[in-house]
Amino acid sequence: MSDPVATTIASYEAKSDEYIRNTDQLSYFPDLPDMLDKFISLLPGKRVLDVAFGSGRDTIYLSTHGISTEGIELTQAFIDSLHGKAITPLYKMDMRWLGFADSVFDGIWCCAAFLHVPRSQAIMTLSGFARALKSHGVLYFDLKEGSGDEWKSEGNVNEARRFFTYYTLGEITQMLVDSNFEILFTRRQEHAKKNSNKPLWLNLMCRKSS
């Protein structure tokens, strides 16, 4: 069986210009600056990994706010694009298998990316985040509320198949606890539901338990 992540990455490669154009400004996402600032305020130190950084929008924000930021991506076009905008260590790496030593990061920022990981690999991925974080390191990530998974061909890129996994808040918080995290903050973006039948976004902030 083919890896859904590989197909999703191929779609991002094919539509990289469109995705960057649709996501590279914080003004497109009014909730994000507050989440970034909250994340920064909770960090026990200054070394952060931006997981699947996409357009590089958040990497640049963190770097310009005094955070020593490194980034990983599987989409080569995103890596090439960010190399032209920021001086920061970038690696072509899969979030499911982080190639870093244990306990090296003070924080992991993973925006709109974990939702592409198949559910069968979710605990493995979260446990890998915990392994790479220092004691009491902070993790932020978000995903879409729901159940099951599906392939979609619209959104920030159109006519390109991407795999999405949905979670209830209770399900994902239990997974975090099972992966050695304590929950600091959760939010359902209720305001985004107005006049829309799209799934709600869930924002989660947590800390490595030890």
Q: What is the pLDDT of residues 120-152, one digit of tens each?
A: 999 999 999 999 999 999 999 999 999 999 999
pLDDT at 159: 86
| Residue 172 domain flag | no
pLDDT at 190: 66
> Whole domain around residue 141: which residue ranges?
4-167+190-208
pLDDT at 62: 98
- Whether 154 has a pLDDT exceeding 90, the answer reads no
pLDDT at 196: 60
Residue 61 belongs to a domain with what CATH number? 3.40.50.150
Give mean pLDDT, residues 16-28: 96
| Residue 174 domain flag | no
| Residue 109 domain flag | yes
Cα dihedral sign, 145-149-152-157: positive
Give mean pLDDT, residues 196-205: 86
Q: How many residues does the chain have?
A: 210
> What is the number of structural domains in the chain?
1
- Residues 6 or more apart whose Cβ sits within 8 Å of residue 157: 11, 12, 15, 18, 19, 22
Question: What percent of the chain is modeled with pLDDT above 90?
Answer: 88
Query: How many other CB atoms sit within 10 Å of the CB of residue 184?
Result: 15
**For 108-147, b where at least 16 C-beta lie within 10 A, e where not — what string?**
bbbbbbbbbbeeebbeebbebbbbbbbeebbbbbbbbbbe
Q: Which residue(s) pair with 149 in the sheet?
A: 165
Give mean pLDDT, residues 38-44: 98
Query: How many other CB atoms sit within 10 Å of the CB of residue 179?
Result: 21
Give mean pLDDT, residues 10-17: 96
pLDDT in tens, 155-192: 888 889 999 999 999 999 999 999 999 999 999 986 55
pLDDT in tens, 68-116: 999 999 999 999 999 999 999 999 999 999 999 999 999 999 999 999 9
Look up residue 25 and give its amino acid.
Answer: Q
Per the model's pLDDT, the better-predicted residue between 194 and 164 turns out to be 164
Cα dihedral sign, 182-189-119-82: negative
- Whether 193 has a pLDDT exceeding 60, the answer reads no
- SS3 category, 23: helix
* Terminal CA-CA length for the chain: 37
| Residue 42 domain flag | yes
Query: How many other CB atoms sit within 10 Å of the CB of residue 14?
Result: 15
Rounded to two decimals, the pTM is 0.95
Rounded to 5 degrees, φ, ψ at 153 are: -125, 25
> CA 114 from chain center: how many Å?
5
At 93, list the tokens.
């790496």
